[in-house]
Structure 1
């Protein structure tokens, strides 16, 4: 490239930048820019497009709070829930989880009162709420496990660990469920469930004022399979034969209509079932990842959820799916 070509290129870039600043930053119309720079309106349009293509101009769309409020209202009207906490979409799963966790943490901080009991589930999403760094008011709240303990590799996502973290943040107390989350078979599960200590903790969990749980989706690559609780084949078979789309609080498995599905996995879980969450005044369910719209739709249709926390994409997909499924076949 010779000096003349270089100078011409630089001049063109300078002009593209000036035109872009005038249009996007100063609010000038294309007609005003045309007169100022003595170029046609058609060329102004082409230059603005070129500026976007070459990265001189980057356009970011920011959702106005009113947008999320409209989505929330649609979810409330459609599914009869109390609140929907809608987080903006994020570029990664981890960032999405943190964004949703922030909304849930803020909501809990404003609604929990002294003397309340909170039943706590397991998993990444509930753990993210407990570990969220924010302004947490001190409250005499008791956090109790709604499901047993899990493998040491999953300690951060263990209900007991999460309860302790919540109690630390609020200056409250926590109660452990002294049993594994997943027994090896039904007989072992029944033995644990009949234990007086286990029964006492689950009775307290049933009488809670609030519950915080995660919504899982059925995948052979799921966290439950990774930890060895269930085999990939068991998950696939439950999805293919029983139509299971997700799990509620790591316990109850349901189909797209929100109906409980009986699987081999159901017979091995030690904790509260879906029906035991219904009497709890406020059940907060979290589904941050954008891979969970089917699980979220099924969970909302169970009728056991009062507050849902998710992303814009999940919320819109759920609304669209529910609308499509409600339309009569032609």
Structure 2
């Protein structure tokens, strides 16, 4: 939004506001406003433009479904994916997450069949899908954790909690991965991975028909830093020295080209790695936040994603970034 000029008077501001409300909110024509305020029609047009320039009026475009369909088609052709679920832009992060979650919940409702296995990741976006309010037809589907459990502070963003919530919605079952998501070092991780119970659960997740994962961006304020998995310094180091721009399902870290990047944070997560998601027929990747276009571009370039769920703005930014980077080559 443009900031209001310092030299505009209170009287002028009031006039601009009154005219804007009459035109944009009450539906008055410029001719009607001209008569009401005893000014020329040309001046009404100039004042309405000034109101937009001063930030008194903000115009938000509500995209027509045909527009979203065209953006989806561009993403499908560009990144060889099956579907793109594109939500209209919302005024804040919480509403955006709910809008994207609604699209994914409806997609799953139309996709899942009896006997299917669904591998579930962690995080806010995946959790929002599980908690979406909607009428679901009961199905015999098994939801299984593709990553271990997180700190209690993670609560409803924990893969196990999300699995249980999905199972409750669908009247089906869930399977817990009895291990932490985060290990202190590689040795501890391998010890957990060799446990028979852990191996059986991960084997089931590897054979899933559908996987639901979140895409993270590399920020020192990220979810994983907040939970104490990694320090802000480790995240910054990985970003600057290793070119890491995002994480896939909270597990593997990748660069802008979609290549797996080895960092000080690698080999410490207990769950499915990026390569293990490839054989899964339908990997649905979700990211609603406006900070994630770069991470999403890298994730799409891994070639692992089959269905992308995000906002209109993110989708357009991804396409523009990819086109710009391809041109610069």
Same fold (TM over 0.5): yes
Q: Quote the residue 1:131 is aligned against.
A: 131
Shift in CA distance, 255/18, structure 1 to aligned 2, threshold 3 Å: closer
Shift of 1:44: 3.9
Q: Quote the residue 1:20 is aligned against.
A: 23
Shift in CA distance, 33/114, structure 1 to aligned 2, threshold 3 Å: same
Q: Quote the residue 1:212 is aligned against.
A: 212
Range moving further from structure 2, 125-134 or 33-42: 33-42
2:245 match: secondary structure: strand
Shift of 1:41: 4.2
Range moving further from structure 2, 89-98 or 39-48: 39-48
Shift of 1:32: 9.5
Within 2, Cα distance between the matches of 1:102 and 1:17?
34
Q: Quote the residue 2:176 is aligned against.
A: 176
Range moving further from structure 2, 211-220 or 12-21: 12-21
Aligned residues: 317
Shift of 1:20: 3.1
Q: Quote the residue 2:9 is aligned against.
A: none
Within 2, Cα distance between the matches of 1:201 and 1:130?
20
Q: Quote the residue 1:224 is aligned against.
A: 224
- Gap regions ≥5 residues in structure 1: 1-8
2:119 match: secondary structure: strand
List aligned pairs for 1:29-48, cutoff 5 A.
40-48=40-48
- Gap regions ≥5 residues in structure 2: 1-11
Q: Quote the residue 2:110 is aligned against.
A: 110
2:267 match: secondary structure: helix
Do 1:251 and 1:272's aligned partners in 2 also have CA atoms closer than 8 Å? yes
Shift in CA distance, 137/37, structure 1 to aligned 2, threshold 3 Å: same
Do 2:147 and 2:181's aligned partners in 1 also have CA atoms closer than 8 Å? yes
Within 2, Cα distance between the matches of 1:206 and 1:244?
25
Q: Quote the residue 2:3 is aligned against.
A: none
Is 1:310 equivalent to 2:310 in the alignment? yes
Q: Quote the residue 2:276 is aligned against.
A: 276
Shift in CA distance, 137/54, structure 1 to aligned 2, threshold 3 Å: same
- Deviations 1:260-284, CA, capped at 9 Å, x for gaps: 0112222111000111100000000
Q: Quote the residue 2:247 is aligned against.
A: 247
List aligned pairs for 1:74-113, cutoff 5 A.
74-113=74-113
Within 1, Cα distance between the matches of 2:258 and 2:21?
56
Shift in CA distance, 91/39, structure 1 to aligned 2, threshold 3 Å: closer
Do 2:16 and 2:48's aligned partners in 1 also have CA atoms closer than 8 Å? no
Is 1:189 equivalent to 2:189 in the alignment? yes
1:283 match: secondary structure: strand
Shift in CA distance, 170/36, structure 1 to aligned 2, threshold 3 Å: same
Shift in CA distance, 47/257, structure 1 to aligned 2, threshold 3 Å: closer
1:20 match: secondary structure: helix
Computed over aligned residues only, the root mean square deviation of the Cα atoms, in angstroms, reads 2.8
Shift in CA distance, 273/31, structure 1 to aligned 2, threshold 3 Å: same
Do 2:20 and 2:48's aligned partners in 1 also have CA atoms closer than 8 Å? no
Q: Quote the residue 1:3 is aligned against.
A: none
Do 1:118 and 1:144's aligned partners in 2 also have CA atoms closer than 8 Å? yes
Shift in CA distance, 36/75, structure 1 to aligned 2, threshold 3 Å: same
Within 2, Cα distance between the matches of 1:148 and 1:166?
17
Do 1:20 and 1:51's aligned partners in 2 also have CA atoms closer than 8 Å? no
Within 1, Cα distance between the matches of 2:257 and 2:51?
49
Shift of 1:91: 1.6
